Structure formats: structure tokens, C-alpha cells
Structure 1
């Protein structure tokens, strides 16, 4: 019997997905074993059609000699719409032992062609540009006999909720999500078999404005994508006797107003429970006084199956206290800046209005602060029907908040009557970071909660004010941190497809995706460090997940952006034209400016070089040999012109800022002979600033990396651990539970930075999380074998921290790196490597002569392929397994 098993089967990153439209889906699996040094030498996949017993196998790979266990492409017969497939995997190890078959997994195809949609787009007859009431649409149908399976394929213009026979279908919220609607619109698939009953049935849909028709942006624009909400729905029913039935949205449906009088993403919801239509989605309901519907003439070729993981209520939290503010407000403190809404219960007379106003912080007097919401109202109004205990939660809106002002509740406000529903895209948690400093642990908490709150179907900048847009700059600087915290591959697959869809014909890239601004609007397009998301994000997903397909899919978009930069101005090797956001919110900015002091042309050319370098790497991965040569040459020329323009013959940068020196070092833009001088100058700038940073959005993500990489790891730690302004931990000492937009969103005296742009949930500066994982804990991947097939573990400890524990769930399994300085004398290092991978591990400041694994010398330990003494310590190659190393420390770390 083999000492390993095949488990955790995934199809397109998902567990047993239904309603996918990937014609050649990819399979991944993990190998688990308690033994060390386990590698896969071969695999076998079997796929059957509607047959969990595999009597009707349609694709059998046979024994394939390969160690590939992620992204194995289906190569069988063409897959059919609305068909379920089962698959299983077994594997052989390097010794030729064969595993048992894995547990059976499945995937199910959705509607693969636009012409398979028999449903029609329908909208209520009373729908107008200005209609705010959320309409109800319904129809009835008859089930004649036992049902084997039933699926609903549904999408909407606007947001929808689906009901069948009086029950809410599924637990997804804010469907169908936000895409570049006129080019791409997701539909969702629901298994509704158990909702149906023999005889009369009814189906109902509630529609909301959402991002499609509602207000978007700080200028109050509406109807950006269209002015009529509509639904498209198709139900496929298969009877036990083989008959099929289809129920579709068409002109036979009815529509009526409901209790939701207004629901807007920014502003909240008004719900009058007295207007509820009890039983409206049941067959028994009398809809004789309802309006009809109008069929819209609208194409279906932009439809795509759900790509991202759904948005759900992922967790629930209880308020921690009730505050009576100096202004006389009753305010709930949720104890955490969160995103979602409040579910509450109330018993009150009919017509009683309950009002919930949401805010992130209290002002220095202790009153609710809403100034930073700008035009966003974030207010819920619920009007009671007066029939005993009533429960309510919003439908087509969400709020960013920690504090909730409560008005209208009769009698005492009881904490148990309120529940915080935390919503975000339901991404698999993958990373964990902990250390000996509790403030840093809270920082990691804040980074994670910033990601939760802003990964609501798209990566937003903030979740509370009248913005909540997919700013490309914020995304590209945070994406690697995000990939440590969660499995973001499906999330960014969807978002990058929208980036590609919204990219301008010139190759320029909008600043927000999905884009709601024109190319010539006053909102900058094609800004350096923002538009570079077109290149940086696909490359990062490739690095972290080995996703070659997405890289190939985005390659033309990547190339178009580089060519756009190349075409600007009169020198194809410098990007020195146009307007840019610069080092946004840098502390060295001039008075009344958001842009830091670092020269915009310097930043633009630096990112031009970086994106071109990544494009050349992508071309090599994709075997585009001509492009490899062209873009490697272009990169070299950009660097040469960058040096002529911005580096003196003596190796000094002409731009005297921290950010300029960070970019020069991290992007490898300076000659090696000048690197030490520039690193020393960066350190000097920090020392002269009383050991504090002055960087903004552009420089901060790479600051600690540049220091650690160039001999100033202790200084990087010192920046991390500063607790006064400006620093990461300053926010923590001020009670932050998410990341702030500004280093001083709350000033030392308790006042606020400003009202106009002051988010308390803004993940950008959380990009330091990447450094915590990659450098402090030392977990990284080799870009030659990406996705953690070849793992790199090289922690860089400093005595300022006594221990660090980090882990990452990769597609292969868990990678872990723990280190601890014991009694200031010894180092203990714990490493876990998943099966079917190898790792290069560098144990810092270790000496071969005294190094041991467990209680054994290295040469006696299983799984260690080789080891050698190097300048940094001891380098070794490990096979899979769990290892513990211990050794005495040299003075460098122990003092």
C-alpha cells in the first residue's frame, strides 16, 4: 500500500463547481503523506459523463509520466452544456508505488453558447430612469412527476435575489457582481432540485439598481451602464423518467412594486415592511392586480459563467458595547471595522421607523464621525409592520463601518438584537503570520481585514464613501500580499478580464476597473504605477499559482500597455509625457498636494522599465521568442536612458527622495557599482527623518524589500516596529482594526487628516504584508518553477523579534516557516514542505559544523538532498516533509 493519498481535487480552482463554461477545464490535486521526500512520478485521470461509478468513462489519460499536479488540462471529447462530469485521480510516487483512487469530484457545465438561451430579457412595465422602488417579478409553472435535477441559470441588469416557492435560493449576495457590463456579464447557476414540488410552483426575482443603474462615483452619476433593470432566467428541469422541461423569463411574467423603496450601494436602503407582499413567490399568491413585463431587445453574447468566487455573508460578529455619545447618540460598537450590514430584530408598532447610520470612527469628542463618507449616506431605514418580532437585513447595498447609530428603537437597545454580517468574495484563506510582537500581529489582522472589506467582487480602494472603485494602483501594489492571505486566482481572473475589456484602443489603461470614466475625463488614465497593473497583476498570478493560461490570455493586454508607453513622447525609451498620480500621498508632498515629491517622469520611466522586463519574462514563459528578444532589448535601452537621465556619473540619483531610491534599487535600474552608494543614501534619508519613512503609494510597497535586499535588514525592521507617526504601527496604537488611507488619518491630537479623502479601510499600505511573508518569514517561490513548485525559504531574522510563525496553503499543500531565537543564544527553525515539491532553504547565520535536524546530523536526516555553507548561513535542498533545525547563533543576531 502506498504511503500517500491523492486529495483536495479542484477544477478551475474550485471544489465541485457547477455552471462553468471553460471548454478545457484544468484539474489540480494534492498529495498528502506523512513520509518525507514524496514526489509524484505519474498520474492518471478519469472523467465520466453523468456516471459516478465510471462505467462510462469519456476520457482516461492512462498512466502519464509527469510530476504535474496542478492545472492539468482536460483533453477529452468536447464538453456539453448543462452536463455533469465526474473525475478522479490516482498517482505514482518516485518509487513507482501507486495510490488508491482519490475521492470522486465533479464539475458541471453551464450554457456554453448564446443561442442556447431561450429566455428573454424582461423588465417591469413600470420601470423608468427614475424608478427607485425595487421591483418584484414572478411567474408560475407546473411540475408533473418526480424531478431528478433542476438548475436555474440567471443574471440581471442590476442586482437580483431569486426565490422559489417562498424560499430564498442560495446564499450569494450582490449577484451577478460587477463587470464591464456592456462587454461582459456573469450569470450564476443554482441547483434548485430540492426547492421544487409536484404540482404548482412559483419563481420570483427582486431587482435592485446595484452598480448597473445606481449611483457611481463622487459626482453622483447614474445609469452608467443602462437605465432599465432586467432579469434573464432559464430553468432546466430533468424528470426521473427522462423528460425535460424548461422555464424561462418571457412576456408571461408579472411585476409589481415591493417593500424596498430605495436601495443604493452608497446610500443604503429604505424598507417599508407594511408593503410586504406575503407569499409573493409562491404558487398560491394572487397576482391578478400585478403589472406585466416588457421584453427588452438585448443581446446575450456578452454572457459568461460565474468566474469569481461568490460574495457571501462569510462570518457574523456581535457588537461589543453600546455607547451613549456626548451628542446623545446611541451607538453600537462592533469592535471591528467591517464591511457588510446589520441584521436586527425589533418589536414595535406599525409605522415605527428604525434608522441605522454607519460610520468607521468616532471623533475626538466621542461622537459619530461621518464626514469622510462624503456624499454616501450609509443609512438604513426600516419601517415596521407592527406584527410582533420582525427581523430585517438589507438586500442591495453594503456599508463600511465599525460604529452604528441607532434611532427609533422603542425602549432599551439590546446588543443581542443586532448582528454584524461580514460580506466579501468568499475566497479561501491561505496565509497565516504571527510573531512575538502583538502590535505587528494586530497589523497583520488589519491587513487581512482591509482585504476582506475591499474584496467585494472587485478589489476596491475603500468600502464606505462615494467611491468604492477598482483603482488599479492600489491593486497592483497589494496583489502579492493578497495572494499570501487568500487564494485570489479566480478573483483576479475575473477582474483582469475586465481590465482587458476596458483597456483603450490606444493601449492605455483606465485608472479604475471596471471603468466608469472616459479616456478624456479629468480622472487620469494611463498613469504610471496605476496602469502597470495590466502587466504586474497577471505576472503575479502566474508567480503565485503557476497560471500560464491567464498569463497567455492577458498577454496582448500586457503588450498593448508597454507599447502605449513606448509610443509616448519623442523618446521611445523614456515615459516622460502625460499626467500621473506620482507617489500618491507621499509625506514629502508640497503643501495642498496629494502627490509626493518624487519626479513623475522618474516614476513613469521606472515603471516603464519594470513592466517591460516583466513582459519579456512573460514572453519567454509563453515561448514568444521574437517578443523575448524585442522586449529584452527594449528593457536594456530603457534602463540605459534612465541612467543617463536620472543617475549622475558618480552614481547619485538626481531625485533626492526615499521613493526614488527605493525604485532604483528594487527595479534594478542602477549599475551594480552604484548600488551600495544608493542603498546607503536611502538609509541616510531614513536616518535623517528620525528613522521614519516619507513614502507614498509608489514607494511604500518596496521600501522594506529594498532595505533588506541591500544590507539594511535591521533598518527595515526598525521601520516596521516604529510606533509613532508616521509608521504602520502608529495606526495600531490609535486603535485601527483595518489599514488607513493616510499615515495620519487620525492625527496625534485626535483630529482627522481631512474629510474629502480619509478612508479608515484602505489596503494599499498593507502591502508591507508581502515583506512580512517573503522576507521576515522567508516564504517565496521560484519564478522558474512558479506556484510554489520550487519553494524558497530564506528568513531574515533580527533580534527585535523573538519568533515568527508563518504558513501558506499553496496549490500543493501547506508551506510553513517558523523561527525562534531561544534565550538569545540559539535559533530553532521549523519548515514544512508539501509533497510533490522541493524547497531551497537557507538557514540564516548557521554553521554546518554545529547544525542539526532534530537530534541528527544533516547527513543522517532523510529528505535532505544536499547542503552547503554559504555567506548567509547554510543552504540546502529539501524534499517534502516536516523538518526542525537548531543551532547556536552568532553575535550578529543574538545581541
Structure 2
């Protein structure tokens, strides 16, 4: 067979993980990417070499079914792939990839959990160890380990891998994960030792709010491990945790997720994980655990990068505070020299308030680490079993003079591969997007959390429900979220189909359904299939999806509406009082019934895709009834909604509930009116914010969407950026204009939910959207917003790198598109016919409509909707007022409804006349700018 070098196979992998670790499945799906210098190249077939046997498959290269016999435990297969195109071209073989089976067979998990023989009342970190002798050559050695808590294993003094916070947080009462490490190189003939360093982590944490907080899982951590040695003669030996192991408290004197970690280096025991250690430790105690650990299918948490100190600040109180220039998640690594017994204390916070650490948002979380020196030269330390969300850290007790290079921040998160990028000519929009990326990084640590800093850090389902499309573009989070969905299904099964507010669910009380939160059961798997094209997530989660819909339908009854129950609603609507974030403008029943429709429709669509015809017909018919009931109850014939608020219109439009074209246009027009009346400030919460830009653009109101995106005043996406934010805030005004923290008790500076707008930036502004699952076909439809000279976005799809870049050249729009091999793109530019192209690099141009040449004069008698639509006039009004009275300007911005029925003159009836005069002068200047 003749091969060509202009077709290449790269990134061959088995399973969902990207790090080459042992696979959790005996029949892992295979994926690869084809690079081709040929235009319109399409794979016709592929040959998979499994190390002695081959299999032929067709044109698919994503999530291809395992073509060989199931892998036995610890079996290794060396795989290669070569592909043949529809044009007859054939690639060379790919680089070989070794696939190792990480699951357990036969005897399964043999290792009891062990803990301290006499633990103290608190959840004390500990060490466990055992020595063993190897009397013959070892062919392979694999370590399987887990914990009710967090742990790391050392063999002969060397950590077995680079995972952190293992095995991560799952619904411990239902599901425990184990990690697998190839430790062959660490084992030698003769005496060996295995040691486990462990702490309580999430298992022993106290969960809940205020006086309701309490432990949930257990009072003490425990660990379990089994080392499987395979000798050259084929025999196996299993060394498992049991009561022959010993355990002791160590130098880590306290450790908690919320509280932080305390370490006394004077208590270190050199060589504790090496053979020959001679300290007398008590025997470990067997801890009963009735959950059988399962193999991890997602990447672990790892140390990703380090960040140096950007500035050393001396606060008004005289404290030393380090600014790292970026709100991040991780911990500090210190290099210190001083006398034995000296203690360095590190306190973390996201912001400063009045020049000091802003600690109130942490609530009960101490977020404090401390290190007591042993007094022997330079000492290097960082916590092991905790993490913090912070930009600033206060350092107390530093011995001698402090040097900034002695401290660095270590960034932690689940080790997902970056796959998406976006950039424009607008620096504030770029910072907004970067804030989204950092927010995701900080909150994707073992599970998708709501925040990484306070006494919460829970897997709130509503946040990830709205954010999954954004997340799946920025990082390959397929394995991460598919694993989390397994916990969701287990928690749900224990609650009669109801998805709890958080997953895992350690909160007190019975789980109750909440719209947009529990709908993660249907929305997240749908989004993962759309972006990654692995239908296993739908097969695995289908029963969960259906159970959620059924739980809601039981509540809907014959009216086919979800009414009258507790709801979060359009959570954190900016008009809600700080202390009552659920008091949104949109009736919560509208949100609930809209999601009732959406989830039922998604179940119907998934059933059809999976070939479950009866379910598809039944749920589709039910969804139609819900849609009719919603429209009858909440939408007038003229297109007004019972809740005349942006989120109400956005959900009805974007979920496809209202289908009549005339009524949809009226609703889109009304949505634009409401946004304009609010001065192009945000007026939506968690539910409406991810939907509003698409709803506006689809209704033809691109200019309104542009003004909403580029608004800098509070509340807006860019307000936080102008206030120095480096992550997405929980509230639109987590920090007020005067630099004080929002008075609401619930305030975080690292929440990704409002960052869901990045999905719109990628798909609409950048112009790169999936048209078929996994981007097998893509839609290229860039939106060249005024105020942006160019934009570019790129995404490594399952088929390869796709990108779109557009720029203005006078009245011409120039667009460059890169389409991966095997993919087709539908390209739609402004004012041009749609065209379809295959793989390769393509360039297109289109003529843009000329902007209106004349600008109508703005006076005191101009209707307010026209005033706010004219950016220079609006800015002149606000600037003139600010010069008169900053507080009056802020109130005018907040309170004015920019509607056609009122004029500027009407709006100043009760204001001092000098304010009106100043505004009039400013408006005249905008019509006749001064000559330079």
C-alpha cells in the first residue's frame, strides 16, 4: 500500500482522558485526529493495529467502538492507526500508543480501609506504612489506592504519581474512585516500603450554612490500597492494606478544605516511607466501608503552574500582604529560613477592602495555613491536602526580612487539556474572556463548584447547567463532567428522581427539585454529546434524564405547568435585594415551566437518537402539551409575557416554546425595548444571562446585544473588568463602585455562571459553532460588532483544530476559516449567500453595510430611548451630571427608564435646575464639538 506524507494521524487515544493514564473501561472507545494538507479530505476507512491483530472501521474517527477482545486487568495493548481518504490517499501508521487496562477483574478490590487505632476527636491527618520483601524479578507493579478523604502514596520514599487531592470528591456514600499508578520502576528486589500520607479532605468537612453546618460523611479519614506485583514467571502477589499495617499521626497537625492546613516540621520522621524505618507505630485499625471503589475515568487534580508575587503591600494596619495579580485557586509554596519553633501563618482572600484583606465573604472558612520551622537551613513547604481561592495572602510571623521571591502561588485544578481560545481588538472584552477561563480553572477542581474560597465550594447544579457549553469549548472536560454526572444520577436515584441542589449532596434536609438547577440532568449530557460526539454519555445518563422529567411531570399534573414550589428562579437578578437573591423580576413559575418544557423535549430528542421510539413519541407529545399550556398561561396573543422582564422573553424564545413567527418577533422586539429601557445594563440573573444575547440577535437586534456586551457601567459584564476583576464575580456588583464589598452575605469573586456569555462570544462574535455533534459539521457565521476591528477564535474539536478570524478592511469584511480534515463548514457572511466548504484553509470577503451618515440632534426634548441609543449623547448626559454630583449621576443611571414616552426634560422635573442646564450645555457640545 502506497502512503502519503500529506495525511497524518495524530492524538490517538483510548477513553476520554488526555493524560495516557490506565483506562477505566475494558472496551475503551478510540479517537484520533487526522491532519491533511489536502483540501476537502474525508476519511473513508481506518485500519487499527492492536499489536498482532488488526481491525477495519469506516469513516468515523471519534469515539470509535473498541474493535478487539475486552482488555484484561493490567493488560497492555499497543495501538496504531492509519487512515484512507475518499480520494484514495493513505496515511502512514500513527505513532504507537500503549493502552493499559486500569480496571480490576476477578477478585476485584481486596484491600480493607484502615485508619488510626486511636484517633483524636478531630479529623486528624495521619501516615500509614508497611514494609515488604520482593524475592524475585518483577515484570510489572501497579498500585491501586483510594481514601475516604485525600491521600498520596509513596513507595521507597518516592510519590507514585503527581495527582493532588486524590481521589477527589464523589458521593462517598454511593461511589468511591481509585487511582492506578504504574510503579514498576519504584520496586526493587529486597526490602521495600509503602507509605500513605492522608487527611480528611472533603470526607470529614463540615457542610451547611450557619448553625445548620455539620459533618456529613464521617468523623475520620481512612485509606485503602493494593499493590499488585506480577513476576517474570507470571505469578502475582497482592500487598493490600490490612491490620498488619501501622499508622501514626505525623507533622501535619490539622487539615481541612475550609480551615486550611497546619504543619509542624519539628514532627517530621525522616524515612517513614522507606525500608528500615525503625519508629514504633501502633497497628492500624480496619474501618468498615460498604462501597466498592471503581476506577477513575477523569483526569486528577494536578499542580498546573506557579505564579510569582506581583506586589508586596503594607496595609494600613501594618500587615504584609502579597498580591499575585490574579485571583486563582491553589496554595502557597514558601522557602523560609529561621529558628526552630518559628511559625509562619498564611491567610488568603480574594480582594482587599479598605486596604486590608477582605475576609467577610469567606464566612466560616478560615482559609489559613501555618508552618512551624524545624530550624535547619532553608525549608521549603506548601500545604498538601487543602486549597484556597485567593489573589491576596497575608503573611504573619515571617522570620527575618521578607523577600517576594520566597513565596509563589501554586495553581491547582483538574488537569483538563485547553481546547478553546478567543480574542478581539477590544482589550476589555479580552479580559472578560480571560476572566471566564480563570473562573473555570478555579472551579473545576475535582468537581464543578460554585466558588473556591468560602465555606461552600459545592457542586451547584444550576451553575454548571448554564456553563457547560462554555466549559466544553475552553477545555476538554468530557471525562470530568461525565464522571460528575454519575454522581448526579446516584444522588437522584436516592431521591425518587429529584436532582439535589448540589452534587455531591452533603446538605441537610431532603432534596427538593429546582428549575434550572436539577435540569443539569438533561442539559449537561446533551451539551456534552453536542460538543464531544460520544453517545455513551447519553446511554449512561438516559435513565437519569428520564427520571428527572418524570419527577417534574408528576408535579405539573394536568395543567402541564410547574407552579407554586420553591424555586431559585432567575437567581441574582441585579434588581433583587442583596439579602434576597431569588427575588427576581421574572415569576419563578415561568422559569420552572420553561425548564419543564426544555427537559421534557431533551428527553424526547435523546430517546429518538438512542432508538427508543416509544419514549420519543410519548415525551415529544408531552412536551407539546407543556408548550401549549405555557403559551396559553404566560404569553398574550400580542407577544407580551405575564412577567414583562428580559429573562421571561429569553427563555420563551431560546427554548423554542413560542413558535409563531409573528409573535416571536414581537417578543424579540419587546426584549430589546426592555434592555434599552434599562440603559443597556444587565437585568438578568443566572437563568436569563446565558440566553439574552442569542435571543436579541435572532430577533434582529444586534446593536442592542452589542451595547449590552460593551456596557461598562454597573451592572454589566465589563463593569467587573473595569474594577480590576480577574475572574467572574458571583454578583454583578460583588464589589461596589466605592470599592466596598457587596453587603449581601453571599458574595464571591470567583463564580463562573455569568461567564456563560463566552459561549456566545465563541459561536456568534467569533463565528464558530457546532452544526453536528462533535463539530463534524460547523457553522461559520461571524458577527462583526461595531466597536470591534477584528476577532478570532479557535477550538480543537474532536476532529482537529478549527478556527475563524475576521477583520474589517474599510467597508470589507475579510474572514479566514480553517476547517479540520473530515469536517464540512457552512459559511454565512453578512449580506452574502451561504456557501459550504470542506477541510482546509479558506478566505472569504463580504461588503458591510455603511453606517448611517447623519445623526439626529439630541436635545432636552428628545425621547429617552433615542438618548440612550446615542452613545455620545448618553455619555455627555452622565458626564455632565457627574461633574455636578456623582451621587446624582449614579442615581440617574440606576433609576431612569429609557423609554419613548419620556424626555430628558421630564426626567429632571425634581432635579436642581443647574443639573438640567449642565446637561443642556453638554448636549449642545455633542452636536457641535469644539474645533481643535
Question: What TM-score, normalized to structure 2?
Answer: 0.89
What secondary structure is seen at the aligned counterpart in 2 of 1:72?
coil
Change in CA separation of 1:736 and 1:723 when aligned onto 2, cut-off 3 Å: same
CA distance in 1, matches of 2:683, 2:291: 50
Match of 1:797 in 2: 784
Q: Is contact 2:124-2:220 (8 Å) kept?
A: no
Is 2:297 aligned against 1:296?
A: no
Is 2:93 aligned against 1:101?
A: yes
Shift of 1:564: 0.9
Match of 1:861 in 2: none
Match of 1:432 among 392, 398, 421: 421
RMSD: 1.7
What secondary structure is seen at the aligned counterpart in 1 of 2:333?
strand
Q: Is contact 1:16-1:107 (8 Å) kept?
A: no
What secondary structure is seen at the aligned counterpart in 1 of 2:653?
helix
CA distance in 2, matches of 1:684, 1:354: 57
CA distance in 1, matches of 2:852, 2:384: 55
Match of 2:609 in 1: 621
Match of 2:24 in 1: 21
Shift of 1:428: 0.5
Match of 1:358 among 344, 348, 354: 348
Match of 2:55 in 1: 61
Shift of 1:714: 1.6
Q: Is contact 1:344-1:419 (8 Å) kept?
A: yes
Match of 1:859 in 2: none
Shift of 1:839: 1.1
Shift of 1:75: 3.5
Is 2:362 aligned against 1:368?
A: no
CA distance in 2, matches of 1:72, 1:793: 27
Match of 1:753 in 2: 742
What secondary structure is seen at the aligned counterpart in 2 of 1:891?
coil
Is 2:531 aligned against 1:544?
A: yes
Match of 1:650 among 638, 643, 647: 638
Q: For residues 782-829 of structure 1, what are the alpha-carbon distances to aligned partners after superposition, in whole Å with 9 as ceiling and x for unaligned?
A: 2xx31100111111112221100100001110010100012x322110
Change in CA separation of 1:15 and 1:362 when aligned onto 2, cut-off 3 Å: closer
What are the ranges of 5 or more consecutive residues in structure 1 without an aligned counterpart? 48-53, 846-872
Q: Is contact 2:309-2:407 (8 Å) kept?
A: yes
Shift of 1:241: 4.7
Aligned length: 847
Match of 1:283 in 2: 275
Is 2:178 aligned against 1:187?
A: yes
What secondary structure is seen at the aligned counterpart in 2 of 1:210?
coil
Match of 1:378 in 2: 367
Is 2:881 aligned against 1:878?
A: no
Match of 2:144 in 1: 153
CA distance in 2, matches of 1:673, 1:450: 40
CA distance in 2, matches of 1:13, 1:827: 39
Q: Is contact 1:331-1:406 (8 Å) kept?
A: yes
What secondary structure is seen at the aligned counterpart in 2 of 1:116?
coil
Shift of 1:166: 1.4
CA distance in 2, matches of 1:345, 1:591: 42
Change in CA separation of 1:893 and 1:318 when aligned onto 2, cut-off 3 Å: farther
Q: Is contact 1:454-1:461 (8 Å) kept?
A: yes
Shift of 1:592: 4.2
What secondary structure is seen at the aligned counterpart in 1 of 2:119?
coil
Is 2:340 aligned against 1:340?
A: no
Is 2:108 aligned against 1:122?
A: no
Shift of 1:142: 1.3
Is 2:574 aligned against 1:571?
A: no
CA distance in 1, matches of 2:269, 2:379: 15
Shift of 1:894: 11
Mean alpha-carbon deviation: is it higher for 439-448 or for 708-717?
A: 708-717
Shift of 1:167: 1.8
Shift of 1:186: 0.5
Match of 2:863 in 1: none
CA distance in 2, matches of 1:417, 1:194: 34
Match of 1:201 in 2: 192
Change in CA separation of 1:15 and 1:693 when aligned onto 2, cut-off 3 Å: closer
Is 2:292 aligned against 1:305?
A: no
Match of 1:79 among 67, 71, 83: 71
Shift of 1:297: 3.3
Is 2:369 aligned against 1:391?
A: no
Shift of 1:197: 2.4
Match of 1:491 in 2: 480
Q: Is contact 1:134-1:257 (8 Å) kept?
A: yes
Mean alpha-carbon deviation: is it higher for 178-187 or for 646-655?
A: 646-655
Q: Is contact 2:603-2:619 (8 Å) kept?
A: yes
Shift of 1:7: 1.4
Q: Is contact 1:799-1:893 (8 Å) kept?
A: no
Match of 1:857 in 2: none
Change in CA separation of 1:333 and 1:41 when aligned onto 2, cut-off 3 Å: same
CA distance in 2, matches of 1:585, 1:328: 36
Shift of 1:713: 1.3
Match of 2:38 in 1: 35
CA distance in 2, matches of 1:718, 1:693: 10
What are the ranges of 5 or more consecutive residues in structure 2 without an aligned counterpart? 855-932
Match of 1:606 in 2: 594
Shift of 1:431: 0.5
What secondary structure is seen at the aligned counterpart in 2 of 1:315?
strand
Question: What TM-score, normalized to structure 1?
Answer: 0.92
What secondary structure is seen at the aligned counterpart in 2 of 1:843?
coil
Match of 1:478 among 437, 448, 467: 467
Q: Is contact 2:321-2:393 (8 Å) kept?
A: yes
Is 2:674 aligned against 1:689?
A: no
Shift of 1:717: 1.2
